Amino acid sequence: MTTAPQLIRAEIKRRTDAKAKEYGYDPNSGEYEDQESEETSEMRSSYTMDAEGIAAWQYSRHYEVKPVVMKLEGKWVCWLYWYGGGKHGDPSGIDWIDDAIFVEEGEPIIKKTFKTVKE
């Protein structure tokens, strides 16, 4: 059975291979590794939505954290999106893949939004 981290790594590899083919990168080159790093960063920050109802399972006093989800191969995968940290922070350096988990889709939540009225 595939784990959530394995599914994320497979998606990153699929995206990297597609870009390498498009740009003609050799899979053993530094260009390929750079592309893989870029795809990892892109995937980390291109989640589908916040994971409402899921509490963060790790915390740091230096960073903000929120659970986020993305649907991969028909399954919802949840990971912790780290951000903030101030001038010297590097939240992208925190390992987010190994702690990813599978989650189930819950009931939709309807929110009302409001806007100010000019008088």
Hey, where are the domains in the chain? 4-103
At 8 the pLDDT is 96
User: What torsion do the CA atoms of 96, 53, 65, 81 make, to the nearest 10 degrees?
Assistant: 40
Task: Indicate yes or no: pTM above 0.75.
Answer: yes
CA-nearest of 74, 82, 80 to 105 is: 74
Which positions of the chain have pLDDT values less than 70?
Answer: none
At 12 the pLDDT is 95
Helix (H) or strand (E) holding 8: helix 4-23
Sheet containing 101-103: give its strands across.
Answer: 49-50, 64-72, 75-83, 101-103
Amino acid at 119: E
At 25 the pLDDT is 86
